[in-house]
Amino acid sequence: MRRRALLAAPALVALPAAAQGAPVDSLLVLAVDASGSIDADEFALQREGIAEAIAHPAVLAAIRSQPRGAIGIAMVEWGSPGGAATVVDWHRVSDAASAAVAATAMRDAPRSRQSYNAIGDAILHSAALIAAAPWAATERTIDVSGDGPDMRSRVPAPEARDRVVAQGITINALAIEVASSWSGGVLAAAYERDVIGGPGAFVMRAEDRRDFARALRAKLIREVALAPGPRAG
């Protein structure tokens, strides 16, 4: 029952052209906080940061340094219990042109309607999206970014994390420590305890949403360029 729930296909938007093709080095889902704690200005900063990071020359250099020189990337927004949504389906990124297309899609996609902080449900949704990806990849990663801890998931984040890691998917996190109650590393510690998992899993911190682009860029470079070697099985 749990396996069927995890692998159920989410409602996806249309794939970009030429979706099918050769394997990629890695599949990466950006699972982004769109809950009620993020106002319109903060949301715009977050989206611009994502677009900037994906198209940054350093990220592209990291992608090109890998054996196949390509990654698959998609974006999920989370918040409401059971309501995580795929807002940008899979894009194959291998050069500046394909990165620009993916960046524009992620910057301009309509915001989904979210509330609360259901990170566990977002992890399961992201894993189902990876299972339905149009390309094979040895490395499969979910990037969770948010400004608060898991609160109202139907499946609590630690349980969701354990299920997904058991399938060979790594979960990393970016803690946006804008709220005083979660600043100073408190949110990062919560993500380290409850969210991340898998070989080499890590948490990075952004001091505020204006620091998001820098932190996400550094995170993408670390994930792409320093990914562990092929896993057994």
Q: Which domains, and CATH codes, for the chain?
A: 2-225 (3.40.50.410)
pLDDT at residue number 6: 32
pTM of the model: 0.86
Sequence-distant (≥ 6) Cβ neighbours of residue 213 within 8 angstroms: 48, 49, 50, 52, 53
Q: Is the pLDDT of residue 187 over 70?
A: yes
> What mean pLDDT do residues 30-41 have?
85
- Asked if 79 and 34 count as a contact pair (C-beta separation under 8 A), the reply is yes
Q: Is 80 exceeded by the pLDDT of residue 14? A: no
The pLDDT of residue 2: 31
pLDDT of the residue at 20? 60
Summarize pLDDT for 56-77 with one digit per residue, the tens: 999 999 999 999 999 999 999 9
pLDDT at 15 over 70: no
pLDDT band at 41 (very low <50, low <70, confident <90, very high): confident
Are 82 and 154 contacting, i.e. CB atoms less than 8 angstroms apart?
Answer: yes
On the question of pLDDT at 18 being above 60, the answer is: no
Q: Is the pLDDT of residue 231 over 70?
A: no
